[in-house]
Amino acid sequence: MIETPAIRPPLTQIPREVCCAQDYEWLAPNFIGEAAHAYVAGGCGPELTLAANRAAFEQTAILPRMLVDVTGGHTGLELFGCHLPHPVLLAPVAYQTLVHPLGEVETARGAAATDSCLVVSTLAGRTLEEVAAQAGDKRWFQLYFQPRRADTANLLSRAEAAGYKALIVTLDTAIKTPSLRAQRAGFAMPRQVVAASLADYPIPPQRLLERGQSLVFQGAMAEAPTWDDLAWLLGETRLPVIVKGVLRPADAQRLKAMGVAGLVVSNHGGRALDGAPASLRLLPAIRAAVGAGYPLLLDSGIRSGSDVFKGLALGADAVMVGRLQVYALAVAGALGVAHLLKLLRGELEVCMAQAGCATLADIGPDMIYH
Amino acid sequence: MIETPAIRPPLTQIPREVCCAQDYEWLAPNFIGEAAHAYVAGGCGPELTLAANRAAFEQTAILPRMLVDVTGGHTGLELFGCHLPHPVLLAPVAYQTLVHPLGEVETARGAAATDSCLVVSTLAGRTLEEVAAQAGDKRWFQLYFQPRRADTANLLSRAEAAGYKALIVTLDTAIKTPSLRAQRAGFAMPRQVVAASLADYPIPPQRLLERGQSLVFQGAMAEAPTWDDLAWLLGETRLPVIVKGVLRPADAQRLKAMGVAGLVVSNHGGRALDGAPASLRLLPAIRAAVGAGYPLLLDSGIRSGSDVFKGLALGADAVMVGRLQVYALAVAGALGVAHLLKLLRGELEVCMAQAGCATLADIGPDMIYH
Amino acid sequence: MIETPAIRPPLTQIPREVCCAQDYEWLAPNFIGEAAHAYVAGGCGPELTLAANRAAFEQTAILPRMLVDVTGGHTGLELFGCHLPHPVLLAPVAYQTLVHPLGEVETARGAAATDSCLVVSTLAGRTLEEVAAQAGDKRWFQLYFQPRRADTANLLSRAEAAGYKALIVTLDTAIKTPSLRAQRAGFAMPRQVVAASLADYPIPPQRLLERGQSLVFQGAMAEAPTWDDLAWLLGETRLPVIVKGVLRPADAQRLKAMGVAGLVVSNHGGRALDGAPASLRLLPAIRAAVGAGYPLLLDSGIRSGSDVFKGLALGADAVMVGRLQVYALAVAGALGVAHLLKLLRGELEVCMAQAGCATLADIGPDMIYH
Amino acid sequence: MIETPAIRPPLTQIPREVCCAQDYEWLAPNFIGEAAHAYVAGGCGPELTLAANRAAFEQTAILPRMLVDVTGGHTGLELFGCHLPHPVLLAPVAYQTLVHPLGEVETARGAAATDSCLVVSTLAGRTLEEVAAQAGDKRWFQLYFQPRRADTANLLSRAEAAGYKALIVTLDTAIKTPSLRAQRAGFAMPRQVVAASLADYPIPPQRLLERGQSLVFQGAMAEAPTWDDLAWLLGETRLPVIVKGVLRPADAQRLKAMGVAGLVVSNHGGRALDGAPASLRLLPAIRAAVGAGYPLLLDSGIRSGSDVFKGLALGADAVMVGRLQVYALAVAGALGVAHLLKLLRGELEVCMAQAGCATLADIGPDMIYH
C-alpha cells in the first residue's frame, strides 16, 4: 500500500471521539491515505448524485406521534426467511483491504459480533471462503456477472457452498464514470489489493475492436449483463436473487415479474451514473410499482439512524451502508464495524421511540411530513 | 461551575449594544462558557430541525394593511382565564443555574417586572417554591412525568400549593438525541447544577434489562408517559393542563377531545426529534384540526417581534421563548430578562402598527403573503 | 458631518470605473463614511425584505422576441399628463446632505440635465424651494403627513407654489423598525443634517402617555395618517395624489376607488416593515386589482436597466431608484446622478432592443419566463 | 497580444491533468491572459444567465434503464443530409486568435481529426477560406448580417464557394450587454485580433443621430436584421439555413413556417440578453412547438457528456460547445480540440450505456427524472 499509505493503523479500541455513527466519516481521513480516501469518499463525475443523495435525506422531515406505548418495541424483521435483529445491512463494498490489512475478514467479525447481515462483494479483497469462515450466519453474496458464464456459475456454486443465504446481483455498473476526485488525488489501486475471489479465473482475452467501433458500446458493454443473462442466472440457483441498482419503477416491475426476489433501490452511492437522482427520491414510486410485501432495500447516502428511519418510512424494508462501513473498518477494524452497527441501531431505536413507532411495521409513509 | 466557567459575570445594567431582542443571542457567548453555550445553543443530532425552525420564519412574509387606525391598539389577551399584557411567555427551560448563579429566581424577577407569564421547568435549578416566591402571579408549572406516579402527584400538589396557575406537560422528550455540538465541546452538566425540585425524590432503582432487550424500548421508554398516563393526570388536577410538544394534527385532535386545555406546537427548539419539521410549518394544520378558539401556543425558533407576529398569524394565540431567555439571563440577570421581554413586546407592537393590526385578533392568516 | 465623515469628496468628473449603473453601489463606500453608508445601505431589522427585493429580480427571467424592428423605438411615456423621456424616476430620499454638501440641490441638477423626473422628499436636507430653483420642470413633491394638519396644508401650498406637478404621499412608515446595521455602525444623524423644509414648523408638544399606554399604539401611531386623513388630503389639492408604499391588492383597489391618481408599489426598499415581501412579487396582483391604464410605479431593489424592464413587464408604468441615486450623488454629485440616469436609460434601451420591444407598451407580462 | 499575453504557449501534447472534458476549463487560465480569460469566460451583465445555464443542467437528473443490450450502440446521426459520428458540434466562436496564434485554423484541424462538425464564425480570426482549407467536410458557416446587404451576400457566396454545407444565422446579438467581468479586468481586443473574413469590406459610414435619437434604437439597431432580412436571406442561398439564438416557442414556430431548416436554442452562453432563462429550460417547449423531426440544436452551458445527454433527452438533436472549445484550443491547439471532442463523445457513450440507450433515438424525455 505504498501509493496510498494509511496514516494511522486501525485502533484496537473504540475511539472516544465517536458520538454518533457519522463521526466515523470525520475520523476516517486520519486512518486512510489521502488518495485512497478520495477513492472511497468520491462519487462519479462532478458528484451531482453524491450531493443529491445527502440532500434528499436532509430535506425529508419526520412527523412524530405522541404518547405511544413502545415498551414492546424492537427493530427486528424477517427478510428472505431469515430473522434480522435490525434493518441495517453491510453493503457489498469492494477492495476493503485498501483500508485495513485484514479487509473483509475483519468486517465480517464486526457483523457477526452484532448479528448483522453482511453482504460480501465479488470484488472483496479476501476470498468469499475466507470471509465466510469468520462471518455469522447472516451472510449474502454480491455477484458481478463475469465475462465468462462459466466463471459466474462457478462463483455462484462457491457462494452456495460457503453458506451464503442470498445473492445480490449488482446491475448498475457495467461501466463506470471514474471518480474525478480520486483521479485528481492520483489514486491508483495498490498492487496488493486484488479481487481475491476472482484470482483463479483466467483473464479473458482482450477484445479487438474494428475501426469505428466504440470502446464503450462494442467494448466494455459487450460483457454487460442483459435481461437474458439475468433470466439465466435465476435458473442457476435456488438462493433468493436480489437485484441492486434499480431506480426506474418500470424496471422494478419487470424484475419482480420475472422472479427476482427483491430489489435494492440504489444509485451505487453516487458511484455509477453521473446525474442519477437520489435513491431516496425514487423509493416511493418503486414501492408503488411493486406493491406492499415485496422486499425493497435502499442504499446511497445513509449516515444516521434517522436516515434509516426515513428510508423505511418511504418504502424500504431495510437499508445498507457502504462508506460508513469502510470508515469504521479503517478506524477500528472489526471493533469499529461492530460499534458502527450498534450506533446505527441505537440511533434508529431512539428515532422510533421519539416518533412513536414500536416496530418497523409502524414506520409508514404517514410518518413523513409533506 | 468549574467545567464550564462563565467568562464574564452577569451585568448589573442593560447592555448598550443590545438594539433588538436577538442581540442577546450574539452577546451571550461572552457570558457563558464555551461548552455550556454549545449545550444551550445546540440542537439534537446534526441540527436539521434547529435550522428548519429559523428557515421557516425567514421564509414567511407579512403583507401589511395601510392606513389602519391603531390608536386603540394593545397586545393583551386572555389565556386560561388570565389576562396577559402580551403574548410572549417564558418557555420552561431546565437548569438555568448553569448560566446565572441565581438561576430561575432571577428569571422570575425579570418576568414579574414586566408582568409576563413565566413557565417554570420541572428541571429548574431552583425549587419551584423558591421561584414562586419571587415570581409574579402569572406563573405556570411545566411537568415532566416522574418514574414514580407518587412523585408526579407530589410535584402536582406542590405546584398547586405554590400558586402555579396552569400546568404544561412536556411530552416530546421521553428520550433525547444528544446534542453533538455539546458533546464535541466536551460539555458535562456541572455537579452543582441540579434539578432542585426533584432533590427529595428517591432515585428509582436501575432497571435491569434481559439479554436482547433494548436500552431504548425496554429501558428508557419503560418510563415514558402514554395516553393512559395523561388521562390519569387530567383526573388529578383542576389546573388547566396544556400539552407541549405537539406536531401532528391527529394528535392535537385527540388531545383536545380528551380534555386537554391547550397545546404548545413545538419541536422543543430542535432539541427533541432530529429531523422533525419546523413547528411553524405545522401550525396552520393544527389550528385547522382543533378549530378556532382553542388555545394554541408556539415555540421553537422565535427571535424577534416579527417572528411572534408570524406565529400568531399562522394560528397561535401566544408564543414562548427559550434560548433568548437564557441568553438574556446570562448577560444581565433579571434585568436582562425584563429587557428582553420589553424588546420583544415593543418589536411586536411596531410590527403590528406597520402591518395595520391594532389587536392580536387582527393578526389572521390573511396577513401572510403566499 | 463629523460623526460620519465622507472619506473622499465627490468627484468632479464621471469615474472611469463605472461600467454600469450598479457600479455606483460598489464605489460609494469610498465616498461615504462607514456609519452613514450603513444607514443608507441597510434595511430594517435583519434585512429579510432587503434581500427579498434583490432575489425577486434575480429570479425573474426575460423571454426575448427575435427579429423585431425596433428602429422606431423609444423609452418615452405619458404620466399624469406629463411626457417623460424614460420611466426611471428619482425616488424621494431623505437627508441627502448626509452624503453631499449640496444635497438635493445637486441631485436636482442631475435630474434636470437628463430631463428626468425628480421626487423631492419632505425630509430633504435642502428646502423644497431651494431644490425647485435648480430642478427641471419634471418635479414632484413627496409628502409625509405632519403632526399638525396646518403644517401639512402649508407644505402642500408651498409645494404647489414651488411648481411641483404631483404629490407622492408615503404611507408605509408611520413607524419604522430601525436599521440594525446602522445602529451597529454607531450611526447618528449629524447635527447639521436636517429636514430643511420643516425647519419653521413648531415641534409638537411631546405626547404624555398614561400608565399602561403603548409608546407605539398610543404614542407614535397617534399621529399616523388614516383613511380619513388621506380623504382630507385629496380635497386639499388639485395636484394628482399618488400613494407610495402599497403592497396589498385590496388596499390598492380602495385607494383607486377613493380618487388616488396612482400608486407606488413599494416596501420602502426594505426600510419599513421587516418581513414584508418583495415589491416586485406583489406587482402582478396589484395590477390585476387596479386594472389596465391606472398608473402604477415600483420601487425597491432596482439596480439595472433589466430590473427596470422586469418591473415594467410585471405591471409597472415606471420605476423609482433610491439608493443608487444616493450612491451616484455621493460619488460625483450632479454629474454622477445624471450619469446614473443615462446609464439606466441606456441599459433599459439595450434590454428592450435585445428583447424585441420598441416601446414601453410592448413590455408586457408575456416577456417574462415562467 | 500585448494587452492580454498568454501565460503559457499551447502544449504540443495532451495534458495529463485532463481527466474529463471540463478539466480544460480549469486548465485554461494558465494558457490565457487574465483579461482575455475574463472576456472568454464572462457573460453579459451580472451573469444571471450564465449561472442559470449551469444550474439548469445540474438540476436535471437522468433516470437510467437497466439491462438494455447496447452492443449495437453508436452516437451517429443524420443532420441536414449529412452523417455525423456524434452530436457534439463546435459552436461558432469569434476571434479565436485571441487564445491561439493560429486561431480557427487549429480548431479546424482538431475537428477534422475527429470527423466532427465545425461551425466557423463570421468573426473568425482567420478567413473562412483559410479555415476551410484545413477543415474536414463537415463544416458550416455562421453568418452575422452585415451593415450592407451586398457584403452579406458576398459572405454567403464565399461560404458556398469554400464548401460550407450549412448556414447558421445568429440573431440574438444585434446589440450586446458588455461583459462586466471583462471590463473590470481591463480587457480590450488586441489590435492584431481581427475579423479576418470581413477585412475587405468597407466600414460603413458612421450613422449620424439627430438630437433626441437613441444610440440603441436609431443607432445600433438600425442595422439589426428583421424578419424581412431573414426572408431575403432564405431566397439567396440553397444551403440549409439554421437560426441560432431562439428561446421563444412562438418565434420557433414562425421560423419553421417561413422555411428555416433548423434552430439552435441558445442564449449565446449568457453573452446576449442579461436575464434570459437557461436555454435548456426552453428546449421542451420549443420541441413541442416545432414538433418531432424538425432539427433542433442546443448550446449554452454544456460541460460534459451527461450534459449532452440531458440536452438530447429534453428535445435537441445535437448540441454545440463554445467555451470548452476555446479552452481546449488555448491549452493544446488542434490536439486539445480533438481531445476535447473525443472526451465528450466518450462521456456521452458512457452515459448512454449507463442509462440504457443504444442510440440517440433512445434518449427521449422519459429518460429525465421529474
| Share of residues in chain B with pLDDT > 90 (%) | 93
Whether the predicted pLDDT of D6 surpasses 80: no
Give me the DSSP letters along A177-218.
--BHHHHHTT----TT---GGGTTSPPPPPPPPPTT--IIII
CA gap D349, C40 in Å, rounded: 56
CB-based burial label for D9 (10 Å; 0-12, 13-18, 19+): exposed
D304/A222 CB distance under 8 A: no
ipTM: 0.95
Whether the predicted pLDDT of A4 surpasses 60: no
CA gap C235, C226 in Å, rounded: 15
In this predicted structure, what is the pLDDT of residue D225? 96
**Contact residues, chain A to chain B, C-beta under 8 Å:** 19-20, 22, 58, 60-75, 304, 306, 309-310, 346-347, 349-355, 358, 369
Name the pLDDT band for D205 (thresholds 50, 70, 90). Answer: confident
Give the phi and the psi of residue C182 in degrees, each rounded to 5. -65, -40
CB-based burial label for C315 (10 Å; 0-12, 13-18, 19+): buried
In this predicted structure, what is the pLDDT of residue D174? 84
Are B180 and A347 in contact, with CB atoms under 8 Å apart? no
Whether the predicted pLDDT of A5 surpasses 60: no
**Pick from B70, B309, B369: which is nearest to C217 by CB?**
B70
Question: Chain D residues with CB inside 8 Å of C65's CB?
Answer: 248, 251
Short-list A32, A25, A100, CA closest to A307: A25
In this predicted structure, what is the pLDDT of residue A246? 98
Give the phi and the psi of residue B168 in degrees, each rounded to 5. -105, 120
Strand, coil or helix: C313: helix
CA D355 from chain centre, in angstroms, equals 26
Whether the predicted pLDDT of C6 surpasses 70: no
- Take residue B312 and report the three cell numbers written for it: 400568531
CB-based burial label for B71 (10 Å; 0-12, 13-18, 19+): middle
pLDDT tens digit string along A185-203?
999 999 999 999 999 999 8
Whether the predicted pLDDT of C2 surpasses 60: no
**Cα distances (angstroms) measured from residue B200 to each of B10, B196, C188:** 30, 9, 56
CA gap A77, C304 in Å, rounded: 62
Question: Chain D residues with CB inside 8 Å of C352's CB?
Answer: 216-217
* b/e sequence B103-113, b meaning 16+ C-beta within 10 Å: bbbbbbbbbbb
- Active-site residue list of A: 268
DSSP C347: H
B63/C247 CB distance under 8 A: yes
Beta strands in D188-261 (DSSP E): 241-246
**Pick from D19, D304, D306: which is nearest to A178 by CB?**
D19
In one-letter notation, the amino acid at residue C305 is G
In this predicted structure, what is the pLDDT of residue D173? 86
Can you give the pTM of this predicted structure? 0.96
CA gap A362, D113 in Å, rounded: 62
The count of other CB atoms within 10 Å of the CB of residue A138 is 22
* Nearest Cα residue in chain A from B217: A71
Give the phi and the psi of residue B184 in degrees, each rounded to 5. -70, -30
C: neighbours with 3+ CB pairs under 8 Å?
Answer: B, D
Question: What is the pLDDT of chain D when averaged over all its residues?
Answer: 95
**Cα distances (angstroms) measured from residue C310 to each of A231, C203, D55:** 59, 43, 21
In this predicted structure, what is the pLDDT of residue A207? 81
In this predicted structure, what is the pLDDT of residue B178? 78
Whether the predicted pLDDT of B151 surpasses 90: yes
CATH superfamily of this structure's domain A23-61+75-197+224-364: Aldolase class I (3.20.20.70)
Short-list A349, A304, A277, CA closest to A50: A277
pLDDT tens digit string along A98-108?
999 999 999 99
- Direct distance between the N- and C-terminal alpha carbons of chain D, in angstroms, rounded to an integer: 48
Short-list B76, B60, B120, B36, CA closest to B358: B76
Strand, coil or helix: D81: coil
- When pLDDT is averaged across residues A329-338 and rounded to a whole number, the result is 98
CB-based burial label for A13 (10 Å; 0-12, 13-18, 19+): exposed
Question: Chain C residues with CB inside 8 Å of B16's CB?
Answer: none
Question: Chain B residues with CB inside 8 Å of C276's CB?
Answer: 61-64, 369
Question: Chain A residues with CB inside 8 Å of B171's CB?
Answer: 66-67
* Nearest Cα residue in chain C from D229: C67
- When pLDDT is averaged across residues C230-244 and rounded to a whole number, the result is 97
Are A40 and A14 in contact, with CB atoms under 8 Å apart? no
pLDDT tens digit string along B98-137?
999 999 999 999 999 999 999 999 999 999 999 999 999 9
| Share of residues in chain D with pLDDT > 90 (%) | 93
- When pLDDT is averaged across residues C62-89 and rounded to a whole number, the result is 97
In this predicted structure, what is the pLDDT of residue C237? 96
pLDDT tens digit string along C19-63?
999 999 999 999 999 999 999 999 999 999 999 999 999 999 999
B353/C246 CB distance under 8 A: no
In this predicted structure, what is the pLDDT of residue B362? 98
A276/D61 CB distance under 8 A: yes
Question: Chain B residues with CB inside 8 Å of C218's CB?
Answer: 71, 73
A273/D354 CB distance under 8 A: yes
Tell me the residue length of chain B: 370
In this predicted structure, what is the pLDDT of residue D369? 97
Q: Distance (Å) from the C-alpha of residue C218 to the closest C-alpha of chain B?
A: 5
Short-list A180, A184, A183, A159, CA closest to A169: A159
- Take residue A184 and report the three cell numbers written for it: 485528481
Between A118 and C178, whose confidence is greater?
A118
Are B137 and B112 in contact, with CB atoms under 8 Å apart? no
CA gap C47, C278 in Å, rounded: 12
Interface probe with A: pick from D71, D352, D354, D360, most Cβ of A within 10 Å: D354
Task: Enumerate helices (H) and strands (E) in chain C, giving the number of each.
Answer: 12, 12
Name the pLDDT band for A3 (thresholds 50, 70, 90). Answer: very low
List all residues 6 or more positions away from B80 whose beta carbon is below 8 Å from its beta carbon. B165, B166, B240, B242, B261, B262, B295
B171/A70 CB distance under 8 A: no
Whether the predicted pLDDT of A268 surpasses 60: yes
Size of interface C-D (CB pairs under 8 A): 109
Are D111 and D84 in contact, with CB atoms under 8 Å apart? no
Tell me the residue length of chain D: 370
- When pLDDT is averaged across residues B326-333 and rounded to a whole number, the result is 98
**Contact residues, chain B to chain A, C-beta under 8 Å:** 45-46, 48-49, 52, 171-172, 174-178, 180, 183-184, 214-218, 220-222, 224-227, 229-230, 243, 245-248, 251, 255, 272-277, 281-282
* Nearest Cα residue in chain A from B51: A58
Bridge-partner residues for D170, per DSSP? Answer: D244
Q: Distance (Å) from the C-alpha of residue C72 to the closest C-alpha of chain D?
A: 7
C354/D171 CB distance under 8 A: no
- Take residue C235 and report the three cell numbers written for it: 380635497
In this predicted structure, what is the pLDDT of residue D203? 87
CA gap C89, D307 in Å, rounded: 44
In this predicted structure, what is the pLDDT of residue D19? 93
In this predicted structure, what is the pLDDT of residue D2? 42
- When pLDDT is averaged across residues A41-52 and rounded to a whole number, the result is 96
In this predicted structure, what is the pLDDT of residue C204? 82
CA gap A358, B97 in Å, rounded: 36
Helix ranges (DSSP H) in C191-278: 227-236, 249-257
- Take residue D172 and report the three cell numbers written for it: 440574438
In this predicted structure, what is the pLDDT of residue C1? 38
Question: Chain A residues with CB inside 8 Å of D358's CB?
Answer: 217
Whether the predicted pLDDT of D265 surpasses 50: yes
**Pick from D66, D347, D352: which is nearest to A248 by CB?**
D66
Strand, coil or helix: C40: helix
- When pLDDT is averaged across residues C262-279 and rounded to a whole number, the result is 97
pLDDT tens digit string along A81-101?
999 999 999 999 999 999 999
In this predicted structure, what is the pLDDT of residue B109? 98
CA gap D102, C118 in Å, rounded: 55
In this predicted structure, what is the pLDDT of residue A355? 97
Name the pLDDT band for D178 (thresholds 50, 70, 90). Answer: confident
CA gap A233, C266 in Å, rounded: 69
